[in-house]
Amino acid sequence: MKNKTLKSVAAGGLLDRRSFILSGLALSSTYPLAALSQATLEKPRSMPDNIGSELPQWMKVPGYGASEYGQPSGHEKHIKRYLEKNTPETSIFSIWHTPIANQRGIITPSGLHFSVSHNGIPDISPEKHQLMIHGLVDKPLKFDIESLMRYPIVSNINFLECAGNTAPNAVSFNALDQNCQELFGQISGSEWAGIPLKYLLQEAGLKPNAKWVIVEGADGGSHARSIPLSKLLDDAIIAMYQNGERLRPEQGYPMRLFLPGWEGNASVKWVHRLEVTDKPAFTKDESGLYSDILEDGRIERFSFHMGVKSVITHPSGKQQLPDKKGFYEISGLAWSGHGKIKYVEVSADGGLTWAKAHLDSPVLSKSLTRFHIPWQWQGHESTILSRATDEQGNVQPTRDKWREKYASYSFNHYNAIQAWHIDRDGKVKNVYV
Amino acid sequence: MFMSNLIRQLYVVSIFLFLSIISINACAGETTSALKINLGQALSQSEINKYAITITPDGKHLPKGQGSVAQGRKLYNNQCQMCHGENGIEGPAARLAGTNGWISFSDPLRILRIKKYPVLLISVGELWPYATTIFDYIRRAMPHYAPKSLNNDQAYALTAYILYLNGLIEEKIIVDKNSILEIKMPAHELSVDAWKEESESNKNIRKNNDNDQ
């Protein structure tokens, strides 16, 4: 009976989600009735005189009060960001990865959002901070926070990904035994709210030869990136809020540029100055760390978009499946800097057969999208993969295909299909296929 | 009687016209104020001069001043080498000299250094397309523990020393706002503008779509 309703959709134990749900409904509609009829036949239950005697301690004392700013449970303290150890040993250049394999849904808690800073986090007094616009404009302008807060504020749920996310799999000759947080922890999802930048640029009045804007932060290193004007007039915002509260300092308090779908480094934090120009400035990061070296030695600059990408987070690298075989739900995240995710395919046999996963609502443009597929693991060695396709028709490449384009030491914009190998003992490991 | 009727009608029509003009004006006034928020304050030239530190590859805004390789070497040894290494290749901070990639003939230990600090896979000397960026970044962000503490002469001197470490200038060259523009960085010829290619292919797609219609 059960085997009939659970329809296989691909080899290796991938199941049809709809038939799975229907079989679940069938069970829930028959079992309670049976249980009820049995209960009526049972003798009256004997309960202890003191109902508290066999209940847990927390049901027998008054709880503690809430606080001004709530914190995660003390039992979840081990869920935290991970600091990359292979950057220079100073706290001012740091790369913190989000614990992606411990999250569900598509929103990353602000305090766990990945964070990269090249010159530390500045302590900015909001009352002294101002946003300046000058260069190829009719009227150079400055805005304090009070004035900015009076402009229309829009909000969108978007992903933010560092160009260097998953770099170890881009450059390492052998697949390193790393977990999902170490390999994929530079992707996060948030609701970002702020002022459409076009309002401010139009107020300053753009000269006909305006084409680029050099966007600069007020941090110690004065981080700067040259951004095409067309993006700033399209969907760029000066973000003031993340997930309903003012930006955290490590996300750019009191304000940051936010560019949906583009590499994180371009969404300049602590933004204070926009210099409108006719050409890019070739700032430090667009000259060096954030350029891509092609297979033939040419160097690609200004490759802003983050390509279509996905990863299975449950199960993922260095995890241990608790049972030798049985039911598991495969779940993960997909995203694309070019628009919405159209579908995600999953394989449980190393890429021989594929089945489409279910996408959770909402499926938003340039946002994390959560996918699921039920899986009956037979206890055999298995390799699970996910492959996302976006609404523009972009498909995640294989690792070999991705490598063809770039030099062996180029590590940015890696979006190849990720494979996790599961051995007979249920140990999950990062592999190349 | 006929005349007075006509006058009355004209009178009514003129009042109607008058009122409708007023209401159109009122609407227009409201629309304009809703579109232009105008809460930005004028930014003065002296404020711009204080903050506009970016140097573009055409050398616009390069300041007066100059520096020699020898002056740069002294500054480097005192303020930079603890992070960038004795020869600008050892790390842990960004590799300033030499080639990109896993191996270099002048540095047999390179692969081990990269294992510890992957950022050493790339080099300022072979990846950055313009020498102006070296001056710009030293002046705005270096040294890491005291950004913006170097004066223009010192920033020119350190630029000279990094160019010298890369064999791009001779030891006797003085770097200033004119000579810095003559430096040819090897990465310049190799650069491809991905954004330009993308916007052009988008334009072509749009053009083709227009032709279809």
Q: CB A203 to CB B128 under 8 A?
A: no
Domain span at A221: 90-300
**Cβ distance A268 to B47 under 8 Å?**
no
Nearest by CB to residue B42, choosing from A87, A119, A139, is A139
Q: CB A284 to CB B53 under 8 A?
A: no
Residue from A153, A282, A304, A408 whose CB has the most chain B CBs within 10 Å, to mutate: A282
The answer to whether residue A142 is domain-embedded is yes
> Are A245 and A323 members of one domain?
no
Q: Which tokens sit at A139?
A: 């009227």
Judged against a pLDDT cut of 60, whether residue A304 lies above it is answered with yes
For residue A153, the domain's CATH number is 3.90.420.10
Query: Among all residues of chain A, which has the CA nearest to that of B137?
Result: A284
CATH 1.10.760.10 fits B56-187, yes or no: yes
Mean pLDDT of A200-208: 97
> Are A249 and A315 members of one domain?
no
**Cβ distance A179 to A319 under 8 Å?**
yes
Query: How many domains does chain A contain in total?
Result: 2
For residue A337, the domain's CATH number is 2.60.40.650
Compute the nearest-CA separation of B175 from chain A (Å).
19
> Are A335 and A216 members of one domain?
no
> Are A142 and A291 members of one domain?
yes
The answer to whether residue A62 is domain-embedded is no
Q: Give me the pLDDT at residue B169, please.
A: 98
* Backbone φ, ψ for residue A8 (5° rounding): -80, 140
Residues in chain B within 8 Å Cβ distance of A339? none
The single-letter code of the amino acid at A203 is: E
| pLDDT tens track for A370-412 | 999 999 999 999 999 999 999 999 999 999 999 999 999 999 9
Q: Give me the pLDDT at residue B124, please.
A: 97
The answer to whether residue A384 is domain-embedded is yes
Q: CB A289 to CB B122 under 8 A?
A: yes
Q: Which residues of A396-417 are buried (b: 16+ CB within 10 A; e: fewer)?
A: bbbbeebbeebbebbbbbbbbb
| pLDDT tens track for A237-254 | 999 999 999 999 999 999
Q: Give me the pLDDT at residue A26, please.
A: 42
Residue from B32, B36, B51 whose CB has the most chain A CBs within 10 Å, to mutate: B51
- Domain boundaries of chain B, sorted by first residue: 56-187
Query: Among all residues of chain A, which has the CA nearest to that of B83?
Result: A88
Judged against a pLDDT cut of 50, whether residue A321 lies above it is answered with yes
The answer to whether residue A229 is domain-embedded is yes
Cα(A112)–Cα(A247) distance, integer angstroms: 13
Judged against a pLDDT cut of 80, whether residue A36 lies above it is answered with no
> Are A95 and A218 members of one domain?
yes
Mean pLDDT of A100-108: 98
> Are A118 and A185 members of one domain?
yes
| pLDDT tens track for B95-131 | 999 999 999 888 999 999 998 889 999 999 999 999 9
| pLDDT tens track for A372-381 | 999 999 999 9
> Are A351 and A268 members of one domain?
no
Cα(B53)–Cα(B172) distance, integer angstroms: 28
Q: What is the DSSP string of A245-314?
A: EEPPGGGTTT-EEE-TTBBGGGS-TTEEEEEEESS----HHHHTTT-EEBTTS-EEE---BPPPEEEEEE
Identity of the highest mean pLDDT range in A9-13, A144-148, B200-204 = A144-148
Compute the nearest-CA separation of A327 from chain B (Å).
40
Helix (H, G, I), strand (E, B) or coil at B171: coil
> Are A340 and A293 members of one domain?
no
Residue from B39, B50, B96, B136 whose CB has the most chain A CBs within 10 Å, to mutate: B39
Residues in chain A within 8 Å Cβ distance of B126? none
Between B201 and A134, residue with greater pLDDT: A134
- Tell me if chain A has a CB within 8 Å of the CB of B59: no
Last residue of a domain, one of A250, A270, A300: A300
Last residue of a domain, one of A300, A330, A356: A300
The answer to whether residue A16 is domain-embedded is no
Chain-wide mean pLDDT for chain B? 86
> Are A370 and A406 members of one domain?
yes
> Are A379 and A273 members of one domain?
no
> Are A207 and A340 members of one domain?
no
Q: CB B132 to CB A230 under 8 A?
A: no
